[in-house]
């Protein structure tokens, strides 16, 4: 959207604003990760960003009003845009940027790092880090409107930008990708985890937790010496629904990750420098993985799979409940677990994440007060048995 020389757009060009929606006690909860916004000055004269306001609507009625003041804007815009510029200037970091932002708009001369915006420059307003919407009402939140105030040589100007929501419920019915007793960690309602990343917005991590002799709950035996000491390791992974294998990554050597206690971000970074030229970025970052295309443009993604544990190949059709792999510890993984997500395309770096529920995990399993939901919800951890 352009208005007299100022333009507003999403940082991620194909970004969908998909809310988590669940009903409890007759009230709808709407939880929204807002998009990052780019403000571009297309004129030759400078302007200065003064404030950003957000109005949330339910059934066309305004029900939320939030104003972000100049000091807070300055802090986040300076810090985040400086970090973006550092990554943009390093071509080796572009894949990292794509993980977070997908099809990201990159200005020719980088992002402005202050509220004073010169002519022909752009700045990113990191809305996803400034505001997180959670609304409770008789009807779900349906949309939002961004209002931006700038000062220019011609006086104060007000710009509006509509943020449309895309409510989503899976068109297919799915089963959970594992069987047995498991714990779902890092669920979508945990805004500090996967939720900040484009295709991983509604992703989950799955581990197995058991009670040890001393009463402690743990994902492995005491003082684990290898992968076999983790309770989930080598568990069968099942296709969540009928579909076709459209992509596999199978080249990550699990021998590089066979002692989880030795893991550190520094050692993994060194490992990536060696593996990316050999097996590619995605197979290095996600470890061994599978992408399945289901009906209605829905794609399931399974990551960190065991070396030599993948039982399918590209082009193969699979049925719901068919064993496709085993849980491993490959890629960016601190210990054996299954990373799972649903997407609107097969490209892990560019697709939007989609919320998902499974027909063999009823909503009441998550919380007996919930009536309806389009996503895993409520807590960072969820324990259950799946048969």
Residue 190 sits in a domain whose CATH number is 2.70.70.10
Question: Rounded to the nearest 5 degrees, what angle is found at the Cα of 301, between the Cα atoms of 296 and 306?
Answer: 150
Report phi then psi at 333, rounded to 5.
Answer: -140, 130
Residues 157, 188, single domain; the answer is: no
Burial of 346 (0-12, 13-18, 19+ CB in 10 A): middle
Please report, rounded to a whole number, the percentage of residues in the chain having pLDDT higher than 90: 81
Question: Rounded to the nearest 5 degrees, what angle is found at the Cα of 194, between the Cα atoms of 189 and 200?
Answer: 110
Residues 156, 193, single domain; the answer is: no
Asked if pLDDT for residue 379 goes beyond 60, the answer is no
CA–CA gap between residue 108 and residue 105 (Å, rounded): 10
Look at residue 171 and tell me if it is in a domain. Answer: no
Look at residue 124 and tell me if it is in a domain. Answer: yes
Look at residue 90 and tell me if it is in a domain. Answer: yes
Least confident range of 21-35, 115-129, 188-202: 188-202
CA–CA gap between residue 268 and residue 335 (Å, rounded): 13
Task: Give the CA distances from residue 123 to residues 48, 49, 55, 271, in Å, rounded to whole numbers and listed in that order.
Answer: 11, 10, 21, 34
CA–CA gap between residue 299 and residue 292 (Å, rounded): 5
Tokens, residue 5? 């020389």
Look at residue 10 and tell me if it is in a domain. Answer: yes
Residues 103, 230, single domain; the answer is: no
Asked if pLDDT for residue 311 goes beyond 70, the answer is yes
Q: Which of these three, 164, 190, 223, is where a domain ends?
A: 164
Residues 31, 160, single domain; the answer is: yes
* pLDDT tens digits along 94-128: 888 999 999 999 999 999 999 999 999 999 999 99
Residues 144, 242, single domain; the answer is: no
Residue 230 confidence class, pLDDT cut points 50, 70, 90: very high
Residue 384: what pLDDT? 62
Task: Give the CA distances from residue 356 to residues 173, 206, 218, in Å, rounded to whole numbers and listed in that order.
Answer: 9, 14, 27
Residues 276, 374, single domain; the answer is: yes
Look at residue 170 and tell me if it is in a domain. Answer: no
Look at residue 63 and tell me if it is in a domain. Answer: yes
Residues 150, 194, single domain; the answer is: no
Residues 33, 101, single domain; the answer is: yes
Residue 354: what pLDDT? 98
Residue 318: what pLDDT? 98
Domain that holds residue 356: 180-386
Look at residue 169 and tell me if it is in a domain. Answer: no
Q: Which of these three, 134, 164, 194, is where a domain ends?
A: 164
Residues 121, 215, single domain; the answer is: no
Q: Which of these three, 130, 164, 198, is where a domain ends?
A: 164
Tokens, residue 7? 């333009």
The count of structural domains within the chain is 2
Residues 149, 193, single domain; the answer is: no
Nearest C-alpha neighbor of 118 from the set 107, 127, 126:
107
Residues 102, 199, single domain; the answer is: no
Asked if pLDDT for residue 292 goes beyond 90, the answer is yes
Residues 264, 350, single domain; the answer is: yes
List of residues 6+ apart from 154 with CB closer than 8 A: none
* pLDDT tens digits along 272-285: 999 999 999 999 99
CA–CA gap between residue 258 and residue 255 (Å, rounded): 5
Look at residue 98 and tell me if it is in a domain. Answer: yes
């Amino acid at each position: 959207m352009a208005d007299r020389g100022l333009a507003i757009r999403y940082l991620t060009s194909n970004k969908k604003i998909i809310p988590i929606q669940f009903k409890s006690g007759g009230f709808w909860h709407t939880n929204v990760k807002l998009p990052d916004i780019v403000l571009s000055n297309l004129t030759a004269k400078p302007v200065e960003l003064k404030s950003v306001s957000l109005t949330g609507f339910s059934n066309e009625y305004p029900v939320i009003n939030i104003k972000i003041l100049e000091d807070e804007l300055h802090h986040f815009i300076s810090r985040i845009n400086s970090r973006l510029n550092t990554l943009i200037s390093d071509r080796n970091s572009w894949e990292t940027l794509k993980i977070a932002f997908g099809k990201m708009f990159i200005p020719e001369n980088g992002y402005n790092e202050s509220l004073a915006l010169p002519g022909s420059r752009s700045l990113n307003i990191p809305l996803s880090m400034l505001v997180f919407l959670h609304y409770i009402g008789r009807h779900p939140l349906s949309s939002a409107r961004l209002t931006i105030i700038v000062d220019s040589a011609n006086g104060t100007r007000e710009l509006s930008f509509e943020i449309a929501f895309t409510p989503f419920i899976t068109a297919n019915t799915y089963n959970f990708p594992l069987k047995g007793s498991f714990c779902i960690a890092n669920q979508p309602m945990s805004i500090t985890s996967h939720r900040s990343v484009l295709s991983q917005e509604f992703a989950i991590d799955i581990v197995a937790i058991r009670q040890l002799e001393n009463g402690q709950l743990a994902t492995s035996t005491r003082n684990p010496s290898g992968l076999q000491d983790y309770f989930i390791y080598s568990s069968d992974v099942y296709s969540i629904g009928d579909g076709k294998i459209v992509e596999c990554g199978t080249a990550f050597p699990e021998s590089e990750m066979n002692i989880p206690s030795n893991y550190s971000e520094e050692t993994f970074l060194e490992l990536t420098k060696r593996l990316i030229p050999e097996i590619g970025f995605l197979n290095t970052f996600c470890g061994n993985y599978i992408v399945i295309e289901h009906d209605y443009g829905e794609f399931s993604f399974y990551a960190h799979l065991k070396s030599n544990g993948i039982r399918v190949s590209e082009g193969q059709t699979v049925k719901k409940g068919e064993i496709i792999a085993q849980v491993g510890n490959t890629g960016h993984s601190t210990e054996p677990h299954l990373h799972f997500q649903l997407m609107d395309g097969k490209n892990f770096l560019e697709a939007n994440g989609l919320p998902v529920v499974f027909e063999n995990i009823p909503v009441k399993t998550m919380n007996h007060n919930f009536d309806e939901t389009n996503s895993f919800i409520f807590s960072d951890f969820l324990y259950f048995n799946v048969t």
